[in-house]
Amino acid sequence: MVTQFQGRGIANAFFAASRWLLPPFITTSTLIILLQVFQVDQMDLYLPLLAVQFVLVFFVFKETYSASISHETILQVLFTRAIFPWLIVIALLIFIGFASKISADYSRRVLLTWFIQAPLLVAMAQDLLNKLIIRWINKHGDGRKAVIVGINTQSEKLHKTINLHREYGITVTGYFEDRTKQREGIDLSGTILGRLHELANYVKTHQIDVIYLTIPIQQEGRIAKLMDSLKDTTASIYFVPDVLIVDLIQAKADTIGKIPIVALCETPFHGVNGLVKRSTDLILGTIFLVIASPMMLFVAIAIKLTSRGPIIFKQHRYGLDGRKIIIYKFRSMTVTEDSGEIKQATKNDSRITPLGGFLRRTSLDEFPQLINVLQGRMSLVGPRPHAVAHNEMYRQVIKSYMVRHKVTPGITGLAQVQGLRGETDDLASMERRIDYDLEYLRNWSLTLDIEILFRTVFTVWKQDGAY
């Protein structure tokens, strides 16, 4: 049994490492082969490119990694695991190439072919690896055997999650529970194997690999007694905190020194995630600003010719951590609206100029916020910043309203691509916006950001919710 378990552990580690290393290996191999096919001289000129792209591909593609591969089609793999992150890598490489002034030394034919072929080959390789993982699981069994101690809401949710994702390689054999009243009202998806005093013997005789403790943390006496009885086993033991009663934002375990802590509400942009987010904003923000500059110049001239007042409208909003920031917009109204009075723009609002109505419907008035993105005050994607007066009102009536400020506000966001643009004329509409903002915080990934950017383009032109 020990040898078999170690074999499964090595295989699982191999598959996990393969998912991270496969994309940079494929892109590197593809470029090397293309250099040979096109008979490129001075191969040493491409060594910096090979090294830089390997690092970029590793970290960017790692952010799109997901253990949930069972239900993905080849098209889903292609777009979410290959094309989207590859576009980010290309943008970063172009930026680095121009900054270092070495891009002119490279063959355009080789690079163009590489840009096209690499994501297709990565998607095919990832799809093949996914199939191999599932095939290995089906052939060799579900890997580690587990039991769940305690019957409650989180234990049942844990069991269903493990059953849904067989690629985790875990089979739950059943539950252990002393208190019969805990079983009432729970739709069990497994078998009750016995009481807590029978757990240790069951673990030893049935060679259980993992034990999940879902006993409420207040019952430290039961937990201590149970841990003491399990010291004669080799099973891995995990405590599942009973924190499902609260709304978690980026929950994760950590340590301060040797003291374990659990984050219940945290920003998704710590460490590498923060670097990826900021790099994406800088690279794509610069590209978008360059592309949009001619249009912005035309809009600025049109504003100056059609109405009196400044071209750029500055407004205070709440930014990261609830700090006040100044954001820029093309002026679309005849009066300034940055005051203590809460007066949203509405349909047929007399303050909106004829040109301003067009700018607001097409979101062209938001283009100056690309400058805010480069300044670091805003992000391309994130919860939309609301006027200060709105913040002060809604934070009093909507729970978790200020949690949306755990991240930098965005030019576009998840709520906006779900149709919640423009006027929020009732509390329910604002609550829906906040729900989507918090969902974004819980589920952030680079892929989600890219998806929102793509969907924004179609949403703006299809919808007339902005005034």
Greatest mean pLDDT range, 179-183, 424-428, 436-440:
436-440
Is 90 exceeded by the pLDDT of residue 29?
A: yes
Is 80 exceeded by the pLDDT of residue 139?
A: no
Is 90 exceeded by the pLDDT of residue 41?
A: no
d(CA 336, CA 17): 56
- What pLDDT does 149 receive? 92
Q: Which residues, 6+ apart, have CB-to-CB distance to 432 below 8 Å?
A: 415, 420
Question: Would you call 375 exposed, middle or buried from its count of C-beta atoms within 10 A (0-12, 13-18, 19+)?
Answer: middle
**CB of 326 closer than 8 Å to CB of 314:** yes
Domain ranges of the chain: 2-140, 144-245, 272-462
d(CA 323, CA 409): 11
d(CA 286, CA 380): 11
Summarised one tens digit per residue, pLDDT across range 225-248 is: 889 998 888 888 998 877 655 667
Comparing 381 with 166, which gets the higher pLDDT? 381
- The H-or-E segment that residue 245 falls in is none
**pLDDT classification of 146: cutoffs 50, 70, 90:** very high
In our burial notation (b when 16+ CB lie closer than 10 A, e otherwise), range 377-392 reads bbbbbbbbbbbbbbbe
- The H-or-E segment that residue 241 falls in is none
Q: Which residues, 6+ apart, have CB-to-CB distance to 353 below 8 Å?
A: 306, 307, 332, 333, 334
* C-alpha neighbours within 13 Å on the C-beta side of residue 214: 22
Mean pLDDT of 193-208: 91
Q: Are strands 379-381 and 410-412 parallel, antiparallel or unpaired?
A: parallel
- What pLDDT does 1 receive? 34
Mean of per-residue pLDDT scores for the chain? 81
The values of phi and psi at residue 221, to 5°, are: -65, -45
Which DSSP string do the residues of 347-378 spell out, in sequence order?
Answer: TT-TTB-HHHHHHHHHTGGGTTHHHHHHHTS-
Summarised one tens digit per residue, pLDDT across range 53-84 is: 999 888 888 766 554 444 555 565 566 667 77
Report the predicted TM-score, pTM, of the whole model to 2 decimal places.
0.71
Mean pLDDT of 165-169: 70
Short-list 339, 319, 315, CA closest to 327: 315
Summarised one tens digit per residue, pLDDT across range 356-414 is: 888 888 888 899 999 999 999 999 999 999 888 888 889 999 988 999 999 999 999 99
User: Residue length, the chain?
Assistant: 467
Report the percentage of the chain scoring pLDDT > 70. Answer: 80
Report the percentage of the chain scoring pLDDT > 90. Answer: 24
What are the CA-CA distances from residue 389 to residues 45, 324, 328, 337, 416 (Å)?
57, 12, 17, 11, 21
- What pLDDT does 4 receive? 37
Q: Tell me if residue 424 falls in helix, strand or coil.
A: coil
Is 80 exceeded by the pLDDT of residue 415?
A: yes
d(CA 391, CA 386): 6
Helices and strands (H, E) in the chain, number of each type? 15, 11
Question: Would you call 38 exposed, middle or buried from its count of C-beta atoms within 10 A (0-12, 13-18, 19+)?
Answer: exposed
Q: Which residues, 6+ apart, have CB-to-CB distance to 436 below 8 Å?
A: 413, 414, 415, 418, 420
- What pLDDT does 467 receive? 47
Summarised one tens digit per residue, pLDDT across range 252-284 is: 777 788 787 878 788 888 877 888 899 889 988
Summarised one tens digit per residue, pLDDT across range 168-181 is: 778 899 999 887 65
Is 50 exceeded by the pLDDT of residue 5?
A: no
Quickly tell me which residue has 């082969």 as its tokens: 33
Is 80 exceeded by the pLDDT of residue 166?
A: no
Q: Is the domain 144-245 a CATH 3.40.50.180 member?
A: no
